[in-house]
Structure 1
Amino acid sequence: MNYFWQGLQQDYHIFLLAPILCAIFRTIFILVYKPYPSFKGKEVALYHCYRYGFWWGMDFNAYVLLLSMIFVTIPGVFNNTWFQIGDSLRLTGLLIYALVLYTAFIGKMIFYRQFNDTYNKLLWLGRNAEKHNLLDVFFKQYHGAILLLSYLPVGALLYGAIILLLNIPMIPSIFEEGTVSYYTFNSCCFIGTILFFYYCRYGGTFNHDDKPEWDEIPSVVKKDIFLSRACIDDLCALENVWHNPLDALLTHTDEDDEPLIDSIMPEKYKNLKWKELSSPIEAFCRTAQGPRIKKPKNIFLIVGESYTQYLLDKPYEKLHIMDGGKKFRKNPHTVSVDNFIPAGPLSRPSIVSLMSGIFDARLELNERENFWAGATPAALPIQLKKLGYKSIYWYGGNPTYGSFHKFAPAVGFDKVMGATEFCPKDSPKTWVGIYDHIFLEKTAELLKDIDEPTFHYIYTTSNHGPYKMPLKKLGFDAKTVMSDIADKLSKREHKAAGTYWYADKALQKFVDDIIDTYPDSLVIVTGDHSSLPIPPATVTERRDFSFRETICTSFAMYHRDFDESILSGNVIASHMNILPTIFELIAPRGFKYYSLLPSMLTPLDHIVSPYHWINNDNVGKIEELTYQSTIVQTTTMETHTFNGENPYKKESDGFSALTGWLVRHPELLQTN
C-alpha cells in the first residue's frame, strides 16, 4: 500500500474546505452590508472580487495542504500507527483552523458595523480601551451570547463537512511498492505539492512579488470601495494590522524622519534649519493678529461623545435626534463648519490631540510616562495660562481610564474633575461614565463656585454603545420624536437613536444654561469622532455611508460678538484648527503661540491629519487612494481614485513623524 499517496490525497481533500469557507463568509458579508439594492452591473466586479479574494486567502489557506503533508502524511509513511490516526489528526487540525476563520469572520462583521471598514489599525487602539465596556458592547449591542453559542452548530457543520471531504473516494496507486516507479511517482507528488503550495500562496504565480496585496486589487474592484473591502480575507486583513503596529514610528531613526518633518515645516525652517531650534515645535510659532471678540471670562470646549455631523444633515432631519444641535446652529451668533475632520479616528486620539496641540498619531501619548511629566509648548492649557486662564478638565467618567489623571495635569490642566468623584454616589452610569444629564447638571452647579478666568474642557460619555440606557425613563419615545420614520428602524437602531436624542438634549441644555449664565463666554461644541448609528438607507436612496459621513464629526462655536463672516467663508476645518482659532479670537496683537495648523479665521484650502484629509471639494483617508465629494447626497456616491500615491500622504506622514520625534526625545518636553 502506498501510504504517502493515500495520505496526500486526503491532504488535498481537506485543502478544499478553507477557500470554500472563505467564499461563503465573503458572500454573507456582501449580502449583509451591500450598499446597493441589486448587483445589476456589478457582475464583472464581483467576479474579480471573488477571484482575487480566493488567491489572496491562499496566503494562509495553502498551509492546510503543506502542514498536513509534512506533519501527518510523511510521518505516516514511517509509522503505521501515525498513519492510522492520520484522518483524526487532519480532522482536528482543520476544525481548529476553520473555527479560527469563523472567529475572524464574526469579528470582521462587528468591526465593519462599527467602523464601516474591514480590520485596520484601530484594532491596536483597543489594547488600552476600557475592557468592561468592550465586553458590554459585545454582549449587549452585538448579541455576544448568541454568537458564542453559534460555535456549537457551526462547529458541528464544519465537523460534518470535513468528514465528507475525508470520505471522498481515493485513487489507488498503480505502482508496486519498492520499485523505481513507486519512488519516482512519490517524489514527483512531493515536489509537485511543494510547487503547488507556492503557486497558491503566491496568488496563482511562482513570483513572490506578484502576491496579492491591497495596492494590486483589480481596478474594477478598487473603484467599488465596498467590494475592495470584501475582497480581502479576514486573516489577511489581520496580518496587515499585525505588520503595522501603532508604535512603528518609534522604530524610525531621526534620519528616517528628518525629510518627513522637513516637508511640513514653514518655508524659513526647511532644509533642516528647524534642527537648530530647541524643539521642532518652535518652528510653528505664530503671531496673533489681535482680538476679534472681547476677551471672555470663560472658554468652554465641549466634546460630545460620538457627536457626529451627518445626523445634522438635511437628509436625516426626519430623525429629530439632534434637534438641540440644530437649534444651537440657528442662533445668529453661532457659526459652524459641516465638513470637519477629527484629530483621531477614536475618542482618545482626538482628546489627546486637542489637549496637547500635537497629533497623537496612534502613539497613545496619554499612556506614556514621559508625557505624564511634561508636554510640548503647543499644549492648549499651557498656552492659555499666558493669557491668565486656569484650566479644568471635566470628564463624565473616571479620568484614571486612559491615565488622564496623569496626562491632563502634564499638559497644563490645574484640575482634573471626574464625574465618578463629584456626582452623587448613586448616580446611574454606563461602563464609560455617569449619565450625561447628571454629569452636566453637577458641572454647571460647580461652575458657580469659580470666579476667575477659566478654560473648561468638558467631555461627555453617554452616547456610546451598547445603548442600554432606560430611554423611556429618560423621556425618549420613538413614535413621538420621529413619527415619520420610527417603524423603519430596527430595535438596535431605536436604541442608538434614543441615546443620540438623549445625549444631544442633555448637551444642548447645558450649552443654553452656560450662555444664559455666562453671556460673555466663548463656547465651542464638537464631537470626538464620527459615529454611524443609523444607516443611510433609512432615509435616503443610498445604502452605504459616504466617506464624509464616516469621517467628519461636528463643530459649532458661539460668542455674542460673532456673525457669519467670522470664519472667512471656510467650509472645512478640523480639531487642530480650534487651538489657533481661540488665540486669534482673544489674544492681543503680537501674542506668540504655537500651532501646527492655522486658525479658521484665515482661508483654508485643505487639512490633513495622520488619518484623514479634506479639501474644499473632497474627503478621504490617508491610507487609501480613494476619495469622495463632500457634497451631501441622497443617492449613491461616486468614488474617485488617485493615480499613484495619495498626494496628502507625505504631509500626513510629516505630522506623524513629528510626534514620533518628540516621543523619542523626551528631553524636549517641558515640565508644567
Structure 2
Amino acid sequence: MLKNFSLTDAKWNSFFTFWVKGLKCYIFFWLILSIFRIIFIIDMRDYMSEQSSTADIINALLLGTRMSMQTVGVMTLVVLVALLVGSIFVKRWGHRLMNTVVLLQLLVACVLFAARFPYYRVYHSSFNKMLFTAAHEDWSALFWTMVEQFSLPARLLGAILLTAALFFLWKKILAANWGKILPVCCRLQSKKGRVLLLVLVFVVARFSLFSGSWNWQTQIDWENSAITKDEFLNESILDDGQAIYRAYRLEQRNSGSNGLSYTAEDVKKFATALSGKNIDSNNLDDYLVKQSQGAKIKKPEHIFLIISESYANWPLLDDYAQLHIADGMKNLISQDNTAYCPSFLPNGSSTVNALMGIVTNLADANLYLTTRVDEMKQPYSTAVAPQMKKLGYTSNFYYAGPSSWENIEKFTKAQGFASFYGRSNLTETSKGSVWGADDKDLYDFVLANTDPQSSFNVILNVSNHSPFEVDLQANAFPAGQVEGALAPQYQNDDQLLKELGHFWYADKMLKYFIDNMKAKYPDSLFIVIGDHADRYNVEKSPTMYRRYGIPFIISGNGISKNLIPSDAVGSQIDVFPTLVELIAPKGFTYYSVGKSLTLGNKTGANYAFGITDGYIGKTEDDQFMPEQFIDGKTPPDPAAVLQYADAIRAVSWWKAEYGNNIDDAAVKLAAGSR
C-alpha cells in the first residue's frame, strides 16, 4: 500500500482540494476581520487620545491581525468540519453545508461589527462583561432601547446587505483558480506543489493555535494584548470574537466562585484589616459591628436618598460650568446647609450594582443578589432598612420602572423595606421611556405620598438613560446655549447634545424635588448620588476620574460644609454609615462594610477601581497605578488600596455566600444545601 503511495495520484485530489478550500476560507475571513478593524479605527478615531502616534496605530493593527489568526482559525475549522461531515454522506452536501456555515458566520460577524460601534460609544469598550449583565436586564426594554436609540432595524438591514455582498465575494473566491498565478512547479498538480500546500497548512495552523506566534512562550491573548497607552487602540486590537471570548472568560471566572476564592482564614485576615479589631472570632458580624459616635444633627423627620441614573460628577466640575447642565445641584452645593464629596465611586458599573450596594451595604462581589430573593430568609445584618427601622424610620423604596426589573420589589422587601412603589403606581403625564416614567412624575408621586410619619426613602429614577426620550423642548432645554458652549469639534454631535440635555433634565428635576419637599417638610435630609457614571462624557477619551466618578451630596438642617473632611473619599457602601453617624445617638449599634465619611474615610473602592484623596486607579490589576486628579496630593500606598479593595469584596462575598460563620465547614454546609 505504502509502496504505491503517490501524492500525485488522482485519488488524492479531493484531499488537497479540501485544504485549498480551507486556506481560501482562512484568508477570506482574515482579510474581513482586518478590514473591519481598520474601518472601526477610522470611524471611531475621535475616541483616540491625542498622544497616540502613527506607530501606535500601526502596532495595534499588526497585533490585531495576529490575534485574529486564532479567531479565523476557529472559524475555518468549523467550516472544514462542515465540509468533511457533509462529504461523508454525499459529496455535494459537503459543499452546500460548507457554504451554509460560511454564510452564518458572515452574518454573525457583520451583526457584531454593526453592533460594535454603538456598544463602544456607550461602554468605551469592545464587547465586555456587560453582555452577561444584560442577561439580568429587562429584555423588552433593552430591545426597544436598541430600536429607538441605536437604530436596530437599520443596523440589522445593513448587516444583512453586507453579509450578502461578502457571501457573493466568497463564492467568487471559492470558484477562482489561484494556481494560474503560481509557477508550474508549485501548482497543485505537481508533487512539489502539494508538499508546499501541506507545509503552508501546518504553518497557518501553528500560527492560528498561538495567536500569530510560533509557540506558547510568545503567544498573545486578550490579557496581554494592550500594547499601546491608548485604551481605544487597545480595544481595537481585539476583534469581536476575541472580545466576546474575553467577556466569556471573565464571566467563567465570576461564576467559578464568582471570580473570587477566599478561604475562611483569608476572610478573617481581611475582616481584621478592614475593621482594625484585634479579635479572633468566627462570626463575621463581630468585625462589621460599629458603635455610633453620637448624632451630629437633629434627627430629621424624613430622609430621602436619591440614586440618580447616570448622574456623574464631571458636570459639577468648574471645567464644564459653561454648559450649565448641572446648575441645580451646583446651586444646592453652594448652600450653607449642604456638604459635597467630589471623590466618590459607584458600587459597580450598572444600576443593579448600586441597588445591591445601597440596599444591603455589601460591596460588589460579582454576585447577583437580586436573583437570590427566594433564598433570603431574612435581611443581611448590614441591610439598611431594618437598621433604619431601629432608628424609628419606616423604609420606602420608589422606582420609576416596573417592579419586575431585577426582582426589585421582591428584593427590597426581602431586605426589609416596608413598601415598594413602581411605575404601575405612578400617574404619568408624559410618555416616559421603555425603562420607566419621567423623573418629574416619579418625584410628584413621592411628594404626594409622603406623610408626616418618619420615613427613610430611597428613590431610583431612570430618565437619564438611553434611549433618551424625555421631551427636552417641552421642558425648555436651552439646546442652543449648551451647543454653543461646546468646543467646535463637538457642536454638531446631535447625540451628545441629547445626552447632555437629559443630564440637564435630571439635574433640574432633582432640584425641583428637593425644593418642593423642603417646602412641604422643612425638617428633611437629602442625599444625592449617581448610580454610576461611565455612560457619556463630552470628551471621547476622558480621564479615569471624569469617566467613573459620581458625586455625594448631603443637604438639610444642621449640615455644614465642613461636615465631610476635604480629604475624605468613599463609595456607595459608605453612604449608610455616614447617615448613621449623622443622626444616631451615641452608642447605637449598627453593621456595615463601609465607613462614615464624617470619620474621615480615606479610601473608596468598587469592582474595579480605587480612589484616594486626589488619586484614582484600577484595582483589578496586580499593581495599583493611580492617575492623579488633584494637584499637590500625596500618592497613596498601592498595597493599602489593593488590600482595602480585596477586604470589602472578601467580607461581602463570604457574607452573601456563606453567612456569618467564618469557617470552612460553612462552605460545605452551604454546598450541601444547594
TM-score by length of 1: 0.86
The question of whether the paired residues in 1 share the 8 Å contact of 2:344 and 2:550 is answered with yes
| Structure 1 residue 229, shift from structure 2 partner | 1.3
> Structure 2 matches for 1:322-471, cutoff 5 A?
322-370=326-374, 372-421=376-425, 423-424=426-427, 428-447=431-450, 450-471=451-472
**For the structure 1 residues 478 and 427, does the alpha-carbon distance in structure 2 shift closer, same or farther, using more than 3 Å as the test?**
closer
Q: Cα deviation per residue 1:314-345 (whole Å; 9 max; x = unaligned)?
A: 22222222211111111121111122100111
Q: Which position in structure 2 is the counterpart of 1:549? A: 546
The question of whether the paired residues in 2 share the 8 Å contact of 1:396 and 1:433 is answered with yes
Q: Secondary structure at the match of 1:72?
A: helix
Q: Which position in structure 1 is the counterpart of 2:83? A: 72
Q: Cα deviation per residue 1:374-430 (whole Å; 9 max; x = unaligned)?
A: 221111111112212221112222223211211112222111122421x23776332
**For the structure 1 residues 560 and 252, does the alpha-carbon distance in structure 2 shift closer, same or farther, using more than 3 Å as the test?**
closer
* Worse-matched range after superposition: 158-167 or 331-340: 158-167
Out of 129, 135, 139, the position equivalent to 1:131 is 139
| Structure 1 residue 252, shift from structure 2 partner | 7.1
The question of whether the paired residues in 1 share the 8 Å contact of 2:270 and 2:650 is answered with no
Q: Are residue 232 (structure 1) and residue 269 (structure 2) matched?
A: no
Q: Are residue 660 (structure 1) and residue 653 (structure 2) matched?
A: yes
**Aligned-partner Cα distance in 1 for 2:420–2:470:** 26
Q: Which position in structure 1 is the counterpart of 2:523? A: 520
**For the structure 1 residues 586 and 149, does the alpha-carbon distance in structure 2 shift closer, same or farther, using more than 3 Å as the test?**
same
**For the structure 1 residues 398 and 282, does the alpha-carbon distance in structure 2 shift closer, same or farther, using more than 3 Å as the test?**
farther
Q: Are residue 115 (structure 1) and residue 98 (structure 2) matched?
A: no
Q: Which position in structure 1 is the counterpart of 2:476? A: 475
| Structure 1 residue 495, shift from structure 2 partner | 2.4
The question of whether the paired residues in 1 share the 8 Å contact of 2:114 and 2:159 is answered with no
Q: Which position in structure 1 is the counterpart of 2:585? A: 588
**Aligned-partner Cα distance in 1 for 2:285–2:124:** 35
| Structure 1 residue 68, shift from structure 2 partner | 4.4
Q: Which runs of 5+ in 1 are unaligned?
A: 537-542, 634-639
Alignment length, in residue pairs? 642
Q: Cα deviation per residue 1:196-224 (whole Å; 9 max; x = unaligned)?
A: 313222023343354312342264x1x22
Q: Are residue 309 (structure 1) and residue 302 (structure 2) matched?
A: no
Q: Which position in structure 1 is the counterpart of 2:58? A: 47
The question of whether the paired residues in 1 share the 8 Å contact of 2:86 and 2:95 is answered with no
**For the structure 1 residues 103 and 627, does the alpha-carbon distance in structure 2 shift closer, same or farther, using more than 3 Å as the test?**
farther
Letter aligned with residue 48 of structure 1: N
| Structure 1 residue 582, shift from structure 2 partner | 0.8
Q: Which position in structure 1 is the counterpart of 2:670? A: none
> Structure 2 matches for 1:13-162, cutoff 5 A?
13-35=24-46, 42-72=53-83, 82=91, 89-162=97-170
**Aligned-partner Cα distance in 1 for 2:314–2:428:** 36
**Aligned-partner Cα distance in 1 for 2:606–2:51:** 37
Q: Which position in structure 1 is the counterpart of 2:557? A: 560
* Worse-matched range after superposition: 548-557 or 94-103: 94-103
* Worse-matched range after superposition: 148-157 or 251-260: 251-260
Q: Secondary structure at the match of 1:589?
A: coil
Letter aligned with residue 163 of structure 2: G
The question of whether the paired residues in 2 share the 8 Å contact of 1:547 and 1:627 is answered with no
Q: Which position in structure 2 is the counterpart of 1:212? A: 220
* Worse-matched range after superposition: 14-23 or 61-70: 61-70
**For the structure 1 residues 401 and 650, does the alpha-carbon distance in structure 2 shift closer, same or farther, using more than 3 Å as the test?**
same
Q: Cα deviation per residue 1:476-507 (whole Å; 9 max; x = unaligned)?
A: 24125655449814232232222222222112
* Worse-matched range after superposition: 130-139 or 156-165: 156-165
| Structure 1 residue 90, shift from structure 2 partner | 4.4
| Structure 1 residue 266, shift from structure 2 partner | 2.4
Q: Secondary structure at the match of 2:398?
A: strand
Letter aligned with residue 623 of structure 1: E
Letter aligned with residue 153 of structure 1: L
Q: Are residue 261 (structure 1) and residue 267 (structure 2) matched?
A: yes
Letter aligned with residue 665 of structure 1: Y
**For the structure 1 residues 470 and 86, does the alpha-carbon distance in structure 2 shift closer, same or farther, using more than 3 Å as the test?**
same
The question of whether the paired residues in 1 share the 8 Å contact of 2:129 and 2:251 is answered with yes
Q: Which position in structure 2 is the counterpart of 1:636? A: none
Letter aligned with residue 31 of structure 1: I
**Aligned-partner Cα distance in 1 for 2:417–2:270:** 29
**For the structure 1 residues 38 and 503, does the alpha-carbon distance in structure 2 shift closer, same or farther, using more than 3 Å as the test?**
closer
Q: Which position in structure 1 is the counterpart of 2:671? A: none
Q: Cα deviation per residue 1:242-279 (whole Å; 9 max; x = unaligned)?
A: 122278356379984435424421249899966521xx
Q: Which position in structure 2 is the counterpart of 1:622? A: 619
Q: Are residue 494 (structure 1) and residue 500 (structure 2) matched?
A: no
| Structure 1 residue 667, shift from structure 2 partner | 8.4
Q: CA RMSD in A?
A: 3.5
Letter aligned with residue 493 of structure 1: L
| Structure 1 residue 347, shift from structure 2 partner | 0.5
| Structure 1 residue 236, shift from structure 2 partner | 1.0
**Aligned-partner Cα distance in 1 for 2:259–2:83:** 46
**Aligned-partner Cα distance in 2 for 1:307–1:55:** 40
**Aligned-partner Cα distance in 2 for 1:47–1:255:** 39
* Worse-matched range after superposition: 236-245 or 474-483: 474-483
Q: Which runs of 5+ in 2 are unaligned?
A: 1-9, 667-674
The question of whether the paired residues in 2 share the 8 Å contact of 1:121 and 1:246 is answered with no
**For the structure 1 residues 177 and 124, does the alpha-carbon distance in structure 2 shift closer, same or farther, using more than 3 Å as the test?**
closer
* Worse-matched range after superposition: 293-302 or 316-325: 316-325
**For the structure 1 residues 35 and 89, does the alpha-carbon distance in structure 2 shift closer, same or farther, using more than 3 Å as the test?**
same
Q: Cα deviation per residue 1:53-112 (whole Å; 9 max; x = unaligned)?
A: 122222221134444455437986x88x62x67665544333322222222222322221
Letter aligned with residue 58 of structure 2: Y
**Aligned-partner Cα distance in 1 for 2:432–2:158:** 31
Letter aligned with residue 567 of structure 1: I
The question of whether the paired residues in 2 share the 8 Å contact of 1:436 and 1:503 is answered with yes
Identity of aligned residues (%): 23
* Worse-matched range after superposition: 230-239 or 464-473: 464-473
Q: Secondary structure at the match of 1:337?
A: strand
| Structure 1 residue 21, shift from structure 2 partner | 1.6
Q: Which position in structure 2 is the counterpart of 1:637? A: none
**Aligned-partner Cα distance in 2 for 1:291–1:660:** 31
Q: Are residue 600 (structure 1) and residue 597 (structure 2) matched?
A: yes
**For the structure 1 residues 177 and 301, does the alpha-carbon distance in structure 2 shift closer, same or farther, using more than 3 Å as the test?**
closer
TM-score by length of 2: 0.86
Q: Cα deviation per residue 1:642-668 (whole Å; 9 max; x = unaligned)?
A: 99x997555434433433323433687
Q: Secondary structure at the match of 1:369?
A: helix
Letter aligned with residue 527 of structure 1: G
**Aligned-partner Cα distance in 2 for 1:367–1:382:** 21
**Aligned-partner Cα distance in 2 for 1:59–1:511:** 56
**Aligned-partner Cα distance in 2 for 1:583–1:414:** 19
The question of whether the paired residues in 2 share the 8 Å contact of 1:202 and 1:211 is answered with yes
